[in-house]
Amino acid sequence: MVVEELLRIPAGGVSLEGMMTVPEHASGLVIFAHGAGSSRLSPRNTYVARILQGSGLGTLLFDLLTQEEDLIYRNRFDIDLISRRMAEATMWVAESTRDRALELGYFGASTGSAAALKASVEVGVEIRAIVSRGGRPDLVMDILPEVRSPTLFIVGGNDPLVADLNRQAFEALTAEKDLRIVEGAGHLFEEPGKLDIVAGLASKWFRTYLG
């Protein structure tokens, strides 16, 4: 049995919409951080979430900004703001799911990856694993040596600029880490079968460290 809950998550004085899906006997919950201009309804994140659910992991997809905040373009790239939202939402979810003893992981895309990495350092609970898809970890280069969560970077082979930025960030990480280049994939992994590769790599990483 899979339980789905539509949530209103209090964070920083606002209420953020989210959808939490937890399969029966799940031991871990993966919290998603979407990229700039996206939302909890991101089709790519939703696709990856469904595959993670199929492997027995719970997922939470939520909006990092309110609709009003998202209209202000600079908010979408305010890593301090969205990382705080990520941390505040994480603490609320950790408290509300305490009886289920779910270990927590982060999945970030684009700028959401930077927010997830920064939040993992600042949040008051342990984040057991992080996966970044086409991420911008270079935006938080200064805190990468402080990241303690095992971290997987996944980048498209046809996305050379972001791949290079990920390689630089990878060197700055001191936690357990891996970097995977998906050949033939662009920044959004829209090519046939490429998002399945991302989901498979993410599922294996989370299943290793959560539960």
**Per-domain residue ranges of the chain:** 2-209
pLDDT of 30 reads 98
Q: 60 phi and psi, to 5 degrees?
A: -130, 120
pLDDT of 41 reads 65
Q: How far apart are CA 140 and CA 2, in angstroms?
A: 35
Residue with tokens 């609709």: 67
Average pLDDT, the chain: 92
pLDDT of 68 reads 84
Q: CA angle 159-163-167, nearest 5°?
A: 175
**What percentage of the chain has pLDDT greater than the value 70?**
97
Write out residues in the chain with pLDDT < 50, as ranges. none
pLDDT of 11 reads 87
20 with 93: CB under 8 angstroms?
Answer: yes
Residue with tokens 């609320």: 92
**Topology given in CATH for the domain delimited by 2-209:** Rossmann fold (3.40.50)
